[in-house]
C-alpha cells in the first residue's frame, strides 16, 4: 500500500493503526527518495494528527493476563529442567502451546488485570500448571524436523536467561532495572 493510500484511509477512518504506521515507516526507511506527493500526504497526515482529525491508535491498549501467568509458570519449570539436565527448551514454543489451550484473560486497567490474576490463581492455577507441563513434555519429545524453521524474532538467545530478558522487554516495557549496588530513590 502506498503512503497516499494509507493517509487517505486514515483520514477516512479517523484512525492511524499500528499496522498503517509501520507500513509508512517501512516505506520511508526503504525508499531512497520520497516523491512530492508522498511528502504532501505525510504533511497532511501530520496536520490531521495534530488537529485530532486522525487519532493514532496505541500499540497495546489491553493485556492478556494469561500470558503473564503462563510465562511465570513456564520460566520456573524450564529453569528447573535446564539446571538439572543439559537440555535446552524453547520458552516461546512452550508458552504458545500452553496459551493455545487456555482461556484468554484480557484487561484494560490495572484493577482489571489484578482481578483477572486473582481469579486465575483461584480457579485456573491447576489448569495452567497442567498445560505448561504438557507443553514441556511435547517440546521435549518433539523431533528435530524443519531445521530451517525461523522464530518470529530473529536473534533470540537459546538460554533461558536470554529468552526471559527478551520476553521482559516485550511484556514489562515499563520496567527499569536499578544498577546493582544502588537503591531506588
pTM (whole model) above 0.75: no
Q: Return the pLDDT at 154.
A: 46
Using CA atoms, how far residue 152 sits from 142, 149, 156, in Å, is 19, 10, 9
Provide the residue ranges of all domains of the chain, joining segments of one domain with +.
3-56, 63-171
Kindly report the average pLDDT of the chain as a whole number: 83
**Model confidence over 22-59: pLDDT tens digits?**
888 888 888 888 899 999 999 999 999 999 899 888 77
State the Cα–Cα distance between residues 22 and 57, nearest whole angstrom: 12
Q: Return the pLDDT at 144.
A: 65
Amino acid at each position: 500500500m502506498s503512503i497516499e493510500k494509507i493517509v487517505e484511509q486514515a483520514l477516512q477512518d479517523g484512525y492511524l493503526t499500528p499496522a498503517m504506521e509501520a507500513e509508512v515507516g517501512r516505506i520511508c526507511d526503504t525508499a531512497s527518495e520520497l516523491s512530492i506527493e508522498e511528502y504532501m500526504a505525510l504533511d497532511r497526515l501530520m496536520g490531521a494528527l495534530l488537529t485530532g482529525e486522525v487519532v493514532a491508535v496505541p500499540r497495546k491498549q489491553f493485556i492478556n493476563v494469561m500470558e503473564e501467568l503462563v510465562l511465570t509458570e513456564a520460566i520456573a519449570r524450564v529453569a528447573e529442567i535446564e539446571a538439572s539436565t543439559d537440555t535446552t527448551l524453547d520458552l516461546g514454543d512452550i508458552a504458545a502451546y500452553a496459551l493455545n489451550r487456555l482461556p484468554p484473560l484480557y484487561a484494560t486497567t490495572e484493577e482489571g488485570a489484578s482481578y483477572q490474576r486473582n481469579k486465575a490463581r483461584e480457579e485456573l492455577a491447576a489448569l495452567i500448571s497442567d498445560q505448561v507441563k504438557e507443553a514441556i513434555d511435547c517440546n521435549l519429545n518433539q523431533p528435530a524436523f524443519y531445521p530451517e524453521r525461523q522464530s518470529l524474532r530473529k536473534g533470540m538467545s537459546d538460554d533461558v536467561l536470554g529468552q526471559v530478558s527478551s520476553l521482559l522487554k516485550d511484556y514489562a516495557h515499563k520496567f527499569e532495572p536499578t544498577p546493582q549496588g544502588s537503591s531506588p530513590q
